[in-house]
Structure 1
Amino acid sequence: MFCADRLKVARHRRKLSGKQLAAAAGLTEVTISKVENGHQPDDATIEKLIAALGYPRAFFFMDKPELLEPQSVSFRSLKKMKAAERNASLAAGSNGISLYQWIDERFELPAPDLIDLSIEQERPEVAARLLRQHWGLGDRPIGNILRLFESKGIRVLSLSENTQNVDAYSFWHAEHPFIFLNQKKTAERSNFDAAHELGHLVLHFHAQAESAPEDDAERQANQFASAFLMPDADIKSYINQVYSSSQIIKAKARWKVSAMALAMRLNQTKILSDWTYRSIVIELGKQGYRTGEPLGTDRETSTLLAKVFSALWSKGLTKRDIADDLNLPWEEIESLVFGLTGPATIRPMKASLTVVG
């Protein structure tokens, strides 16, 4: 039976409205509406939809997908986001869940090790310190943020949305935490986004809409991320006086954050006065640090997925085989896995997988 929800996922991934899909497929808007509301299409209509969307025929005849509702997802920049961008990102989340279900059938993945810190929503810095204690991190800088997250059972996937409006988002599904990161951002911005989403996962646990108004939730997640990445004690032991932007540019590599994020943290910890902070922000802006990171760090990628693909490749399996198994276009898998490279064309296996933080 043709699955209406899968048609919605495919349409959203292509960022098409019902009207646009109708035009691309040579169908009427009424036909698209009927199909998406459960009316079974004839073969001719199905072929037109397949041609317009570029998804394999079998995709539309699978069981209902896991659909994400906007209220269950913590988005950054939600107010700036267009409906098509939001829907495309949510549909990527649906495909990401399918990918991890496929991986779960073949590998033993790290179990989630997050704690519910929603009681500390009004004290995000305390929440950050408690989670660091729970994970045994102390006050040291985090070497590889994504590797740490994956070792704690967070499923991290990439977004390749070519837009400034979709930074990252997170959600819980079947007791598993997911984070999606836009790869169009700088590495430093992506690191902060990851920590921001971690804040949502532990502070707002199952959706910001259920626990805090959007503005409050974003402020809390930002404060959590800043404190989690740049602990107060480490900041103060490493930097006690700042006179120029060059000191910040040199020091930011320690925490793998942007110059602007470090400047703000130094202001929060009273190392930078408000006047000096404003002056340094102006200096950094003139050097291009407001919109980019001229002297940037290396981008992190998924350690867990790299290990998965390495194990699969050793058995002769590739991302294209995964796409075939999931009846997804190959580029949909590519967009989720940080551009990890390897052979393009495997048979399944069951293996244990350990990711060390």
Structure 2
Amino acid sequence: MRTDQPVLPGTSLGGTSPRTVWDGFHAPRLTQARRLAGLTKRDVAEGIGVSAAAVGQYEAGTNRPRPELIPRLADVLDVPMQFFVAGRPMGKLDSSMAHFRALRSTSGAQRERALGFVEQVWELTHALEKRVQLPLVNLPGFTGGEVHPGIDLPADPVGAARELRRHWGLGDGPVRHLARRMESHGLIVAAPSEADAAAAKVDAFSSCGLLRPVVVLTPNRADDVYRYRFSAAHELGHLVLHTASTGDSLLEREADSFAAEFLTPEKSVLPLLPRRVDLARLAGLSRTWGVSVSSLVYRYRELGLVSDATISRSYQRLRGLSRQPGFAPESVRGFPGEQPVMLRKAFELAEQDTGLTIRELAAELAWKPARVRELLGMPDSRPVLRLV
């Protein structure tokens, strides 16, 4: 018996048969599981002994896998058999509903995998929100927002950044704990572990296609808290400026402009920038404002303070200092306030108030318990038995 299989409400492990799953088979769940596994239809077909065309029919809903194939399908895709049963809330996304930070460096398959990850994050959030009241969505311009501030952000990136800072009461100083700040306004922020296949090759991305805006930050590409924070602000810019993703480089530049003004407002930073590009002084400003020295150098260009030739020389000098104290990347792990906690805290509150367990939550979602722990950021604490 596979003890990591969750139990659906009203059933037992022994009572959930392949025939029962076949009766309630939901084609979109197969597509989602395949996305998450990072497999092609041909890969799945080879794993269960059918043709790729047959798998295409299963996903299209024009045919269903025979009952005897369902356990093999679950094994190939590393999900419980119950995962394929209809009746659970499901968030569905396509690539037009997400902004990817590094669009050209990621394949279509990688983006599909990342979208499947976001769908699961939303489903976990939905399950927790039935038990715990999460912060209301307070993001001007987001159509699903629960707080209606009665304001429209300017269409230009700099103006939008200034107005959002004002609306969120951030003042003119540095933005501390950006990820937590976003969560406090109802955004879902997810930071997959390096082991999570959904984030293996994707930098950062966001989606406003579900009932809550979602921002996914993946420090594994470059474990640098300043780049991580800029990516978070960049994705925030997409959420408030752009209703759909087109892959246009103009949208990326606008999100960058938003992020720069949001993290380092011109009226606050301009008086602090030395007239000449002084990297040692910029390193001090970097720590204060939570942005990279490279980002501050770029602010000189944005604000028209120095020539492009000076900027180029400054970047060359920065490359030579990249391993020196004050210039070397700092791990996100050293900054707890930049790591999301909303979903884990929601589970802990539900556990305390209602007795909810990981196994019960996994049963409701039809996931393996390990997957629930992974998305909650709660690794298995049990000691590992090693046989030699």
CA 1:341–1:335 in structure 2 vs 1: closer, same or farther (change >3 Å)?
A: closer
User: Which aligned pairs between 1:271-350 and structure 2 lie closer than 5 A?
Assistant: 271-288=305-322, 294-296=328-330, 298-299=334-335, 300-314=338-352, 317-337=356-376, 339-340=377-378
> How far apart, CA to CA, are the structure 1 residues paired with 2:237 and 2:126?
25
> How far apart, CA to CA, are the structure 2 residues paired with 1:321 and 1:288?
48
Report the number of matched residues: 336
Match of 2:163 in 1: 130
Match of 2:293 in 1: 259
> How far apart, CA to CA, are the structure 2 residues paired with 1:92 and 1:194?
18
Match of 1:101 in 2: 126
One-letter code of the match for 1:141?
P
The match for 1:207 among 232, 240, 244 is: 244
Q: Which runs of 5+ in 2 are unaligned?
A: 1-23, 142-150, 383-388
> How far apart, CA to CA, are the structure 2 residues paired with 1:170 and 1:243?
34
CA 1:272–1:141 in structure 2 vs 1: closer, same or farther (change >3 Å)?
A: farther
Match of 1:58 in 2: 82
Match of 2:233 in 1: 195
Asked if the contact 2:97/2:209 (under 8 Å) is kept, the reply is no
**Backbone CA RMSD of aligned residues:** 2.6
> How far apart, CA to CA, are the structure 1 residues paired with 2:352 and 2:116?
31
Asked if the contact 2:206/2:213 (under 8 Å) is kept, the reply is yes
Q: TM-score, normalised by structure 2?
A: 0.79
Asked if the contact 2:172/2:265 (under 8 Å) is kept, the reply is yes
> How far apart, CA to CA, are the structure 1 residues paired with 2:310 and 2:362?
53
| 1:59 positional shift | 0.8
Asked if the contact 2:190/2:217 (under 8 Å) is kept, the reply is yes
> How far apart, CA to CA, are the structure 2 residues paired with 1:242 and 1:331?
53
CA 1:253–1:342 in structure 2 vs 1: closer, same or farther (change >3 Å)?
A: farther
Asked if the contact 1:129/1:228 (under 8 Å) is kept, the reply is yes
Asked if the contact 1:12/1:91 (under 8 Å) is kept, the reply is yes
> How far apart, CA to CA, are the structure 1 residues paired with 2:226 and 2:173?
18
Asked if the contact 1:25/1:48 (under 8 Å) is kept, the reply is yes
Match of 1:140 in 2: 173
Percent of pairs identical after alignment?
29
Match of 1:41 in 2: 65
Asked if the contact 1:110/1:150 (under 8 Å) is kept, the reply is yes
One-letter code of the match for 1:47?
P
Match of 2:139 in 1: 114
Match of 2:20 in 1: none
Asked if the contact 2:100/2:206 (under 8 Å) is kept, the reply is yes
Give CA-to-partner distance per residue, 1:127-159, whole Å, 9 cap, x none.
100111111212110111011111111111123
Q: Secondary structure at the match of 1:103?
A: helix
The match for 1:228 among 237, 256, 262 is: 262
1:152 aligns with 2:185: yes
One-letter code of the match for 1:195?
A
Match of 1:2 in 2: 25
Match of 2:218 in 1: 182
Match of 1:219 in 2: 253
| 1:226 positional shift | 0.8
CA 1:193–1:4 in structure 2 vs 1: closer, same or farther (change >3 Å)?
A: same
One-letter code of the match for 1:179?
V
Match of 1:249 in 2: 283
> How far apart, CA to CA, are the structure 2 residues paired with 1:239 and 1:306?
40
> How far apart, CA to CA, are the structure 2 residues paired with 1:260 and 1:320?
46
Q: TM-score, normalised by structure 1?
A: 0.85
> How far apart, CA to CA, are the structure 2 residues paired with 1:341 and 1:253?
31
Q: Secondary structure at the match of 1:176?
A: coil
| 1:167 positional shift | 1.6
Asked if the contact 1:77/1:165 (under 8 Å) is kept, the reply is no
> How far apart, CA to CA, are the structure 2 residues paired with 1:51 and 1:9?
15
> How far apart, CA to CA, are the structure 1 residues paired with 2:210 and 2:45?
35
> How far apart, CA to CA, are the structure 2 residues paired with 1:37 and 1:175?
25
| 1:173 positional shift | 4.0
> How far apart, CA to CA, are the structure 1 residues paired with 2:45 and 2:211?
38
Asked if the contact 1:26/1:48 (under 8 Å) is kept, the reply is no
> How far apart, CA to CA, are the structure 2 residues paired with 1:341 and 1:54?
18
Deviates more, 1:326-335 or 1:246-255: 326-335
CA 1:23–1:281 in structure 2 vs 1: closer, same or farther (change >3 Å)?
A: same
Deviates more, 1:31-40 or 1:320-329: 320-329
> How far apart, CA to CA, are the structure 1 residues paired with 2:293 and 2:373?
31
| 1:53 positional shift | 0.9
Q: Secondary structure at the match of 2:30?
A: helix
One-letter code of the match for 1:198?
L
Q: Secondary structure at the match of 1:107?
A: coil
1:72 aligns with 2:92: no
